Amino acid sequence: MSELMRESLSALMDDRASELELERLLKHSGDKELRQTWVRYHAVRNAIGGQATASLSIDISAGVRAAITGEAETSETPSAQPSKIQSLLRPVASLAVAASVAAVVVVGGVQWGQSGDSSGYNPPVSIASGVSPVGMLNRSGAVPVQMTYGSQPLSPNRAEVRAVYRELARRNMERYMADHAAHASLNTPQGMVPYAKVEAL
């Protein structure tokens, strides 16, 4: 493994990797030595920070990747003879399949907005009582999350697709808010107040 890669890896750990470095690392993410170095760096950092490292030998990435690939394949089997449009859209589709897994991982690493407790009440340390469909617990979101379609290279369509869906969410908020307010006014203690959220009464 080159010195350059080692430096990029170190930069990534410090959250200082440039797009170029990130791309270089992702391109070589299958490299066994690179992966072991990554695990080792973390172990060292944990040790310095006084945290124990569970095990240096467990690598679940292969399993996760196999699961994602498997799922992507099943979801595409119905189209035996893919049309031109479908083959164009397939990269986007497979990225979206990865999204549910990748998004959770990204969410876990996001620094959530203000942590200062300006309001005086301290939420207790909470334990999830439900079972997550994605198999792991994510942090509660009080702040918008930068979404990702996985760790794969950017598709030229990605920004466009995101913009379309953001617009759809905005439009649907207006469209469905009156229906939602009707249910909220009957099923929460707020009475008619939820109707204040309806843009055009």
Partner 1 sequence: MHAVQRRSPRVRQIFLLPALLATALVPALARSSECPSTDPRALAWLDKMSRALSEVDYQGVVTYERGDDTQVMNISHSVSGGQEEEHMSLLVGKGGDVMRKAHPLECVHPGHQLLRLDASSTDDCGISRFYRIDVVGQERVAGRPSIQLTIAPRDMFRYGYRLALDSETGLLMKMQILGKGGVPLERFQFASVSVGSPSTDQELTLNDEAAAHHAKHPVMHAAKQVAPWHVHWLPAGFTLAADADPRGHSQTYTDGLAVFSIFLEQPDRPLPPGEGMVRKGGTTTYTRGIKRADGVVLATLIGEVPLNTARMVVDSIRWSP
Q: Return the residues of window 2-61 that contact partner 1 according to CB under 8 A.
A: none
Residue 132, both tokens:
């997550």
Determine, following the binding rule CB under 8 A, whether residue 72 of this chain makes contact with partner 1: no
Minimum Å distance from CB 134 to partner 1? 7
Q: Which is nearer to partner 1, 9 or 102 (CB)?
A: 102
- Contacts (CB under 8 A) with partner 1, residues 171-200: 172-173, 176-180, 182-193, 195-198, 200
Note the helical H segments in 14-83: 19-27, 32-48, 61-76
Determine, following the binding rule CB under 8 A, whether residue 144 of this chain makes contact with partner 1: yes
Out of 81, 83, 126, 146, the residue judged to bind partner 1 by CB under 8 A: 126
Determine, following the binding rule CB under 8 A, whether residue 142 of this chain makes contact with partner 1: yes
Out of 50, 122, 146, 156, the residue judged to bind partner 1 by CB under 8 A: 122
Distance CA 39, CA 53 (A): 10
Minimum Å distance from CB 108 to partner 1? 10
Percentages (nearest 5) of helix, strand, coil residues in the chain: 55, 0, 45
Determine, following the binding rule CB under 8 A, whether residue 169 of this chain makes contact with partner 1: yes
Q: Which residues of 21-56 are buried (b: 16+ CB within 10 A; e: fewer)?
A: beebbeebeeeeebbebbeeeebeeeeeeeeeeeee
Out of 57, 117, 146, 156, the residue judged to bind partner 1 by CB under 8 A: 117
Determine, following the binding rule CB under 8 A, whether residue 124 of this chain makes contact with partner 1: yes
Residue 2, both tokens:
């080159």
